[in-house]
Amino acid sequence: MTPRTPVTTPAGAPDTADTDDADSTDGTVSTDGTGTVAEATTFVGLTLDRHVHASDRAVNLARDVLSGLAANPRELPPKWFYDATGGMLFDEITRLPEYYSTRRERAILDDHASDIAAACPADTLVELGSGTSEKTRLLLDALRAAGGLRTFVAFDVDESTLAQAGRSLIAAYPNLAVHAVVGDFEQHLSHLPSGGRRLIAFLGGTIGNMRPAKRGEFLRALREQCGSTDALLLGTDLVKDPDRLVAAYDDGAGVTAAFNRNILTVINRELGADFNIRGFAHVAQWNAADSWIEMRLRAVRDQRVTIDSLALAVDFQRGDDLLTEISAKFTRGGITAELADAGWAVAQQWTDPESDFAVTLATPSTAPTAAPI
Ligand code: AVJ
């Protein structure tokens, strides 16, 4: 069973609770300090579930770094960008002139949140990879206006981001139960709180960080978790002029470069490595064949990196690449086809006037299509 930590925050009051060591490992439900057992589904205020603990994090990072550096080509999963600094750098990216996608998606949600709420008047909004939950408010407002909103489930790998977002949300929505779940959406989907009618939002284009086979697996797993009245709201970046795409991932101010290199800082700190971040250049390229942007770190000189926790030394020759992220770009038809393959029927699809970004609302189709053999 999963440790569950009700954070003792009266609705609407400023939250001073410390969530750091508040979880119990025996799986019991803690009390809220008044002697009342807090139920995740009814507790108004902030509840936190941890599926990833600080100790798992080190183990998972070690495993990913070990296999990623042994692979050819070398590769690291982009989820490791997002420590507190990485989250701040990503926030900064969303405000860059070159990085259009956050603004485009927000414009779509601004225009269509009420259509979304009308099509799926959910009592629970679930946001996967919620980050700072900023755009979420547009959806929360629309669902609240539609009448039945009770619970917001924020699902993210980074606990500090979640706790912060959760606190500001309960202050803004005093009658909302905010359920923060620390987890990895590639592993812990089956732990999503169930019950009621759920709108599951996966925004920002984050699905583009997965390769097509992974996306299929993910969408099928999500479909299996969903009942007939649940719906998926999926944000995807669209194919466009490669120059604009590359600029969005290689901005003039160098924020994306700092974001990219931050993955090395995370590994240095958490695995006792000695990456010299100035030894790696930021590279962003459009891969037309696979329809994705690739972000790489390229060794600017020959160098040896040691990783104490792994008892590992890794040699880089000048020009060697480390792939840190793919960010796939879609077509409207491609999105519909991938969803259909995974058992989802598109109910509605919206784009901004420039067709830079798409937001798709999909519902479970009668039966998920079998995975290809
Ligand atoms: C948060 C995954 C949607 O792929 O555009 C931004 C991350 N990487 N700049 C994206 C990112 C470089 C972003 N997502």
Task: Choose the residue to mutate in 185, 327, 356 for probing ligand 1, maximizing ligand atoms within 8 Å of C-beta.
Answer: 327
Rounded Cα distance between 309 and 148, Å, is 49
* C-alpha 197 chain-centroid distance: 22
Q: Identify residue 121 by its one-letter amino acid code.
A: P
Task: Choose the residue to mutate in 206, 207, 251 for probing ligand 1, maximizing ligand atoms within 8 Å of C-beta.
Answer: 206
Do strands 151-156 and 198-202 pair parallel, antiparallel, or not at all (unpaired)? unpaired
Residue 90 CA: nearest ligand 1 atom is: 6
Nearest to 157 by CA among 95, 71, 253, 81: 81
The one-digit pLDDT tens for each residue of the chain (373 residues) are: 344 444 433 333 333 333 333 343 323 233 333 333 333 434 567 888 888 887 888 999 999 999 999 999 999 999 999 888 998 999 999 999 999 999 999 999 999 999 999 999 999 999 998 666 678 999 999 999 998 999 999 998 888 888 888 888 999 998 999 999 988 888 888 888 888 999 999 999 999 999 999 999 999 999 999 999 999 999 999 999 999 999 999 999 999 999 999 999 999 999 999 999 999 999 999 999 999 999 999 999 999 999 999 999 999 999 999 999 999 999 999 999 999 999 999 999 999 999 999 999 999 997 555 555 5
Nearest to 239 by CA among 61, 49, 101: 101
Ramachandran bin of 155, using left for φ above 0, alpha for ψ from -120 to 50, beta for the remaining angles: beta
Q: 349 vs 201, 209, 311, CA distance in Å?
A: 14, 21, 50
Residue 248 CA: nearest ligand 1 atom is: 9
**Which phi and psi (to 5°) does residue 209 adopt?**
-75, -10
Task: Choose the residue to mutate in 90, 161, 287 for probing ligand 1, maximizing ligand atoms within 8 Å of C-beta.
Answer: 90
Largest distance between two CA atoms of the chain: 62
Residue 101 CA: nearest ligand 1 atom is: 5
pLDDT of residue 56: 85
Nearest to 16 by CA among 28, 27, 24, 8: 8
| Residue 45 CA to ligand 1 centre (angstroms) | 30
Nearest CA, atom 2, ligand 1: 206
SS3 140: helix
Q: End-to-end CA distance of the chain: give it in Å, rounded.
A: 34
Annotate 288-329 with three-state secondary structure. CCCCEEEEEEEECCCEEEEEHHHCEEEEECCCCEEEEEEEEC
